[in-house]
Structure 1
Amino acid sequence: MKNSLSKIIAFCTRHRFSCAIIAAISLIGVGAAVAQSIWLGNYKTKVANQAYFPTKNCINMAGGLEAPIEGEWGFKFQEDDFSNIKNKGFDTVRIPIDWSSRASKQSPYQIDNNFFKRTDEIIKWGLNQKLNIIINVHNYEEIYQAPDENTNRLVALWSQIAQHYRNAPQNLMFEIINEPRDAFSGDKMNQAQYRALLEIRKTNPTRTVIFSGDNWGTIGGMYNLNIPNDPYIVATVHHYLPFEFTHQGAEWLGAQAPPMGRDFPIGSDKKDLHNYVQKIAQWRTHLGIPVFVGEYGTSESVPRHLRARWAGEVTRELQMAQIPACYFNYNAGFGIYDRKSGWDKLILDSIIDQPQDELKLRR
């Protein structure tokens, strides 16, 4: 099992797509290096959450700015992408960004100015369409393996990003790190995100900041996440279950890909999905902060009608629990839009808000 997981993770690292591997990571408590009083979970009276988070229908725009070179993974941003997304009923886009490979390796870890300019252009396109925008630090592979050597650099990246966007409207939101995992788990993950938050707060005192748990940001890692006592925090979790369905035949996983032919739903799939969403809702209640599903989707190798069926079931279950979600992905890997053929309407229709009376009937 361990060797298989290592191979899968190696494939995911090479292709840099979100894999939602349920890794066998031990639960690690928060140590004494940071005073326990900073954590929201230890407060008898929690600070009232005021995070600006108007997201309902969100879609990831991955494969562009986290590629080594924009366009190398089949997607290059165009201005009309944002009107295209807005016109289909989405209110938010999540833009994964690989800042670490565009920054120097030595202190002060300066981010390339030309990359900032390109990112500015893309963000402006989205804001012009009155979309909410989430930007993150994505594909920082070094920190997952060597957090002690890379946490200062992560904090420095966020210092620059926060300073650069300090005057941006509130609907630009920051997500500190995508899918913490491996050595970057438990205490090390919590400490790093807290330090990044402190740096962000120097220039962005009320901007919404999104925290993720470890174990690839999955439901298995959310219980390891400690939330600082800050009123402008949102938490995120990713969902790609059952993995043997969502990733069946995924070419980029090679021999480690689950075999084709897995249907959905079968057996306890619907019950498992319901229980999964209820766990997220319970976590939200416990923390007293907004929680959203930052990624959920299926490989393009999954038969189209099954992709739509799975997406519809997941979306509706989340909507009934009033948990906003961000489908993965717009274009390129896991995508539902192609510049030549347009939107995959079958899948698109399954992830857009449904009338409340229909949701009530499904209850």
Structure 2
Amino acid sequence: MSLGVKLNRKNQFFKKSAGLFSPVLHLYAVLLLSVLHLSAQCQTAKTKPIANSQRNVLFNKALGLDNGINISWLEQTWNAEALKHKPFGNEDFVLLKQLGFKSIRLPVAFEYYSSRHIPLKQVLARVDAVLSQCKHYGFKLIIDYHGGKINDNNYAAATTEAINNWLLICKHYKNENTGRLFYDIYNEPPHMDPQRWKDAAYNIITAIRKVDKERTLLVGASNFNSIYELSRTQRMADNNIIYTFHFYEPFFFTHQGAAWVGDQVSTTGVPFPYDGEKFPQLNPKAKGTWGEINYAQYQRDGNEQSVKDKLQIVKNWSNKYNVPILCAEYGVYNKYADVDSRCRYIKAVRKSLAELGIPGMLWDYNTNFSIFAGKPSLAHLSPCFKDALKYVIKTD
């Protein structure tokens, strides 16, 4: 989830310094990037199909991530105290276990900490603690590279920075169980040239494979892990990838009132599903924006069938290329949407994901998309949400 916080950070590389996110392998990464940029242009799915047994293992890994949840913490660049405080502990893992969750996605703003000269070991110490708890309580963990700066204008430098960071991260976790720890290589690439993003992803993946050849990687499409962009691309040549997407459709409902998004979502009080008697007037601020178009289309889009139809798009793509997919984020901003509508939406998404056999991860556990009415606890979870959490993929 990108919270839309705009950080005025310069693209730069820091001098070599023990313990910092310094580009120890900067020269290597630059050379690698220059070589791989051209080769990425011709990389398609033209590799021989992997054996069914290997493919089954990969699909089972994806299914094992179902009923997951995101922990918002180390991506909070707006929170200067984020590294100093741990917002969850053993009691939270116990609660998640009680509720049936099986996997955790941990977003980490590596480049933000790098730009503040914060030692990598200090950041990874926090990640290590989460990994240790995941092992103890039986959760699988995804380390998500959050808050990167890649765009059409800074492709070379920003991709190299991501490569440098991943080389260090991979070295640190190289010996961890490949069935329990996964890497989401880049959260929500922006609205940029799809081929340029695919080149960047190829370069990052190839660099990771120099250190860790066996780790299963999560890779999404541009335009913020869009299902539509993913459905228009080809799978990559690497045979150990789970393709990821984020699902907040209809955005007009899920992000209503979210200030970081802008005027297009300024209309609040939007119910789910659509109810003509409760449907609010369009906020004047939304006129002339995508919000005005989405307002007019909400009667069509604001229902469970529309949710499932959109998820079917990415399921069809998965079937076409015979590759596993993961919905790494779905949820509702909880400040303005009423609790019953939020619950009905979460239930609709989880039900649709389960019926289509797509594993999913809720955004998020403990902040402004949380399903809890207060501090996470069973007492703060409505019966409706408890019922919604029952929808999971049925496995033999």
TM-score, normalized by length of structure 2?
0.74
CA–CA separation in structure 1 for the residues paired with 2:310 and 2:273: 15
CA–CA separation in structure 1 for the residues paired with 2:94 and 2:238: 34
Alignment RMSD: 2.9
1:169-228 CA distances to partner (integer Å, 9 max, x unpaired)? 121100000011134x41221112112112222232211100010111121221354433
Residue pair 1:214, 1:224 contacting (<8 A) in 2 also: no
Instruction: Tell me the equivalent position of 1:88.
Output: 99
Q: CA deviation at 1:61?
A: 0.7
Residue pair 1:144, 1:181 contacting (<8 A) in 2 also: no
Q: CA deviation at 1:339?
A: 2.6
Q: 2:4 aligns with which of 12, 17, 20?
A: 12
Residue pair 1:294, 1:325 contacting (<8 A) in 2 also: yes
Letter of the aligned partner of 2:70 in structure 1?
A: N
Matching of residue 79 in structure 1 with residue 85 in structure 2: no
Q: 2:344 aligns with which of 297, 301, 309?
A: 309
What SS is found at the alignment partner of 1:294?
strand
Q: 1:175 aligns with which of 175, 178, 184?
A: 184
Matching of residue 289 in structure 1 with residue 323 in structure 2: yes
Gaps of 5+ in 2: 8-35, 275-298
1:263-306 CA distances to partner (integer Å, 9 max, x unpaired)? 22233333322221211111111221110111111110210000
Q: 2:308 aligns with which of 262, 270, 274?
A: 274
CA–CA separation in structure 1 for the residues paired with 2:83 and 2:266: 26
Letter of the aligned partner of 2:4 in structure 1?
A: C
Letter of the aligned partner of 2:93 in structure 1?
A: F
Structure having the higher Rg = 2
Q: CA deviation at 1:131?
A: 0.3
Query: Which sits farther off after the overlay, 260-269 or 188-197?
Result: 260-269
Residue pair 1:46, 1:229 contacting (<8 A) in 2 also: no
Counterpart mapping for 1:235-246 below 5 A: 235-246=243-254
What SS is found at the alignment partner of 1:38?
coil
What SS is found at the alignment partner of 1:277?
helix
Residue pair 2:70, 2:104 contacting (<8 A) in 1 also: yes
Instruction: Tell me the equivalent position of 1:353.
Output: 391
Residue pair 2:41, 2:199 contacting (<8 A) in 1 also: no
Matching of residue 339 in structure 1 with residue 375 in structure 2: yes
Residue pair 2:151, 2:190 contacting (<8 A) in 1 also: no
Counterpart mapping for 1:64-213 below 5 A: 64-68=73-77, 69-71=80-82, 76-103=87-114, 112-141=120-149, 146-170=154-178, 171-183=180-192, 185-213=193-221
CA–CA separation in structure 1 for the residues paired with 2:83 and 2:357: 36
Of the two structures, which has the highest relative contact order with CA contacts closer than 8 Å and spacing of 6 or more?
A: 1
Letter of the aligned partner of 1:274 in structure 2?
A: K
Q: CA deviation at 1:348?
A: 4.1
Q: Quote the sequence identity (%).
A: 25
Instruction: Tell me the equivalent position of 1:325.
Output: 360
Residue pair 1:234, 1:290 contacting (<8 A) in 2 also: yes
CA–CA separation in structure 1 for the residues paired with 2:231 and 2:84: 33
Q: CA deviation at 1:73?
A: 12
CA–CA separation in structure 2 for the residues paired with 1:290 and 1:261: 36
CA–CA separation in structure 2 for the residues paired with 1:114 and 1:74: 12
Instruction: Tell me the equivalent position of 2:69.
Output: 59
What SS is found at the alignment partner of 1:235?
strand
What SS is found at the alignment partner of 2:182?
strand
Q: CA deviation at 1:254?
A: 5.7
CA–CA separation in structure 1 for the residues paired with 2:84 and 2:258: 16
